[in-house]
Structure 1
Amino acid sequence: MYSEENSAAHPLCVALLFGGLSSEHEVSRVSAGTFADNMDPEKYELIKIGITKDGRWLYTEASSAQMADGSWEELPGNMPCAISPDRADHGAILFTPAGHVEKLHIDVVIPALHGLWGEDGTVQGLLELAGIPYVGCGVLASAVCMDKAVANALFAANGIPHCAWAAYTRAQLEADPDGIRAALEEKLGWPIFVKPANAGSSVGISKASNAAELADAIKLALENDRKVVFESFVDGQEVECAVIGSEPAFSTRPGEILAGAEFYTYDDKYKNGVSETLIPARLSEEKLDEVKDYAARAYTAVGCEGLARCDFFVERGTGRVLINEINTFPGFTSISMYPKLMEHEGTPLPQLIDRLVALAMERAVAHHG
């Protein structure tokens, strides 16, 4: 069993991955800076590996501020690097300016990546091949939660309530646009939320109130993915739970987002800072506990481990609790709900990071011996 005390004598070598190819590249840079600023240097030797928007992996000694503002990419000390899938390496390969190849041993990875090619099981698969422990969900849960259509199907199979929904591929939408529109109108009614199945952070999401808006919304969603999810409008409070661990999973009671725009947009989340959070959410004690219970059930149903943020609607009038989605590597910015919820439960950021690293090490032992 791994214990946090083990790292006192020998600091753990932690690789922090940030950036990435997704539309959430900028958010990832800020999240990674939060990790870097809250990790005890006596416990952890931190290696920073940035992934540019065009997919280059670079070892960097950037500060948190340089990571956040993007200037890290221009630092003279950056070196091309790659995490090796060869288990004998157990780490990264550095390509030095002198033309040499160096190996860097890594004990654990924090993949502070959001969205596609980071939070979707791809990087997790690389780390499984490499045999390197990592923070967060495994390959399957990461992939499932990134695909809203697959996640919705699993929620339904496990009795986790969700709003009415449908999903179609690009080929289906192009082959029978009128038939699909009629089917959506009958099943979901207006307005309809239109989402790319695999994008994150509200990117490419539209609210359509008629056929013309639906056509535009589909076009926008297809710019982000080849599969589109359609969901009925829910007039509800948006609440979120932080979940940590597995077997058993612990969920916080939910916090609430007071959105600045008509619905919670990417700009709201990360740029405008107009969204406010309330912890706990403005719900009855019984309803707070009901959401918390559904969060742990949903997290377990899709096989999450390590951490995830589970997002729900509580429908106005009926009080129905409806899951929206699960984020398997939630944001760790100054306005992010996950670290705020954990802090409210008595786990401030430095201890939370210790716990997440410990869970990563424990899972590696449990899975691989």
Structure 2
Amino acid sequence: MKMKLCLLFGGKSAEHEVSLLTAKAVINALDLTKFEIYPIFITPDGEWRKGPALEGPVDDVTALQFGEEYSVSAMEGLQSTSLSVTNEQTSEFDIIFPLLHGPNGEDGTVQGLLEVMNLPYVGNGVLASAAGMDKVIMKNLFKDAGLPQVNYVSFIRSAWDQNRQAAYEKVENDIKYPCYIKPANLGSSVGISKCTNRQELEAGFVEAFQHDRKVIIEQGVKAREIEVGVLGNDYPEMSVPGEIVAQKDFYDYKAKYVDGDSVMIIPAELPEGVAGQLQQMSKTAFQTIDCSGLVRADFFLTEDKEIFINEVNTMPGCTQHSSMFPLLWENTGVTYSELIEKLVELGIERHKEKQQIKYTF
């Protein structure tokens, strides 16, 4: 009997287009002899649109952007019966796969909805998603776990508005130039700026606050960018490390998704013992914020072999041939199709475990 798999994608986020690309890749990788695929497209305005069951691969993401006639409420989309390709009524989904990046999807909001509805889903839970999305909270937790990081400070918009001069001076006193300023709750390098002087710093604050009410400023460091994939629940496995070699000053959104002017080296060429350190630190980060399913852990490696954890991404991009996470696992011996199926299995495993919890005396 086929598993009924519901995919959530799009979303009210600056990473909306990235989510569509991930959805297309996942759909085309799924074995239709094993899965019935039910798509739910969330528009940039947050409207839910439930499309018909998919009968085959998708050639273009426009085929997934359903019109107003498919509009439903979130509750209707997730729980109501729907018509299959044979026009027979189907039961509820066996599992939900949120393919949402950024706020309103990767930050614990959708995960909270699914928890309240007691629906099994793929990926990280509410706590890990929220902590992983908020870079300030994440870094504070990593600090408590003893994971080395570059210096950082953060500000909320109201504090910056009240005394912008004090904010700039704190950055210059605590961080020094060059530094990077970014929205605390966003991914894919959206809203990030490299600052080498006061003028660029002021402009960076303005840019970052367009995307979030909280920003983080991090010390720039001359280092290689190394990433590790983590897969599992209580006993996660780590991929081989991979390296991002950007052709620009930093790996921004345009470099990732538009120009393609960056190189991924997998496995990364590393000094002896460093790969093991990176994998152990990835596991520590995964367990520190109570992750489940998947994570991509990002690091800086200096010429002196000093390692700093930069962040974890709790729903990394998963396009088959251009995203680091699936490529890391492909080079570790897990094909893209196997990876997607494994993530579904992990989601079901975690849901079954949660059903053992007693909620009454």
TM over 0.5: yes
Give matches, 1:118-133, under 5 Å. Answer: 118-133=105-120
From 315, 322, 334, the equivalent of 2:308 is 322
Q: Once the two structures are superposed, what CA deviation does each residue of 1:274-296 show, in whole Å capped at 9, x if it has no partner?
A: 21111111212311111111011
Q: Which residue of 2 aligns with 1:344?
A: 331
Deviation at 1:309, TM superposition (A): 0.6
Number of residue equivalences: 347
Structure 2 residue 64 is matched with structure 1 residue 72? yes
Q: Tell me the residue number matched to 1:99.
A: none
Secondary structure class of the residue paired with 1:324: strand
Residue type of the partner of 2:307?
V
- What SS does the aligned partner of 1:217 have? helix
Q: Which residue of 2 aligns with 1:357?
A: 344
Alignment partner for residue 260 of structure 2, among 268, 273, 295? 273
**Cα separation, 2, equivalents of 1:287 and 1:157:** 22
1:114 aligns with 2:101: yes
**Residue matched to 1:5:** none
Displacement after TM superposition at 1:82 (Å): 3.6
Q: Secondary structure at the match of 2:38?
A: strand
Q: Cα offset for 1:128?
A: 0.6
One-letter amino acid of the counterpart of residue 145, structure 1: G
Is the Cα contact below 8 Å between 1:17 and 1:111 reproduced in 2? yes
Q: Which of these residues, 267, 272, 276, is aligned with residue 289 of structure 1?
A: 276
Structure 1: distance between partners of 2:269 and 2:263: 13
Contact 1:32 1:64 in 2 (8 A): no
Whole-Å separation in 2 of the counterparts to 1:285 and 1:306? 29
Deviations 1:194-221 (A, max 9, x none): 0111111100000111111111100001
Q: Indicate yes or no: 2:21 matched with 1:27.
A: no
Superposition deviation, residue 83 in structure 1: 4.0
Query: What's the secondary structure of 2:158's corresponding residue?
Result: helix
Deviations 1:259-314 (A, max 9, x none): 12210010111111221111111212311111111011111111110101111111
Q: Secondary structure at the match of 2:191?
A: coil
1:45 is aligned to 2:45: no
| Per-residue deviation, 1:246 | 2.2
- Contact 1:58 1:79 (C-alpha < 8 Å) held by counterparts: yes
Q: CA deviation at 1:103?
A: 7.5
Give the counterpart letter for 1:313 in structure 2: F
* Pair 1:255 & 2:242 matched: yes
Matched, 1:214 2:201: yes
Partner residue in 2 for 1:230? 217
Q: CA deviation at 1:193?
A: 0.5
| Alignment match of 1:187 (pick from 174, 189, 211) | 174
1:16 match: 7
More divergent stretch after superposition (223-232 vs 57-66): 57-66
Say yes or no: does 1:177 pair with 2:168.
no
Q: Distance in 1 between matches of 2:240 and 2:283?
A: 10
CA–CA distance in 1 between the matches of 2:125 and 2:195? 35
Query: What TM-score does the superposition give when structure 1 sets the normalisation length?
Result: 0.90
The amino acid of 1:33's aligned partner reads K
Q: Quick check: 1:137 aligned with 2:124? A: yes
How many Å separate the matches in 1 of 2:296 and 2:318? 11
The answer as to 2:359 corresponding to 1:368 is: no
Unaligned segments of structure 1, at least 5 residues: 1-9, 96-101
Superposed CA offset, 1:101-159 (max 9, x none)? x8751110110110010100011111111111111100010000110000010000000
**TM-score normalised per structure 2:** 0.92
Contact persistence 2:226–2:243 (CA under 8 A): yes
Alignment root-mean-square deviation, CA: 1.9
Q: Deviations over 1:309-339 (max 9, x none)?
A: 11111123x2111111111011011200100
Amino acid at match of 2:40: I
Report the AA paired with residue 348 of structure 1. T
Aligned partner letter, 2:351: A
For the 8 Å contact 2:51–2:66, the answer to whether it is kept is no
Distance change in 2, residues 1:225/1:103 (3 Å)? farther
Contact 2:41–2:66 (CA under 8 A) maintained in structure 1: no
Q: Could you list the runs of 5+ residues in structure 2 that have no partner in the other structure?
A: 84-88, 357-361
Identity of aligned residues (%): 37
TM-fit CA distance, 1:75:
5.8
Question: What is the letter of the counterpart of residue 182 of structure 2?
Answer: K
Distance 1:60 1:262, change over 3 A: same
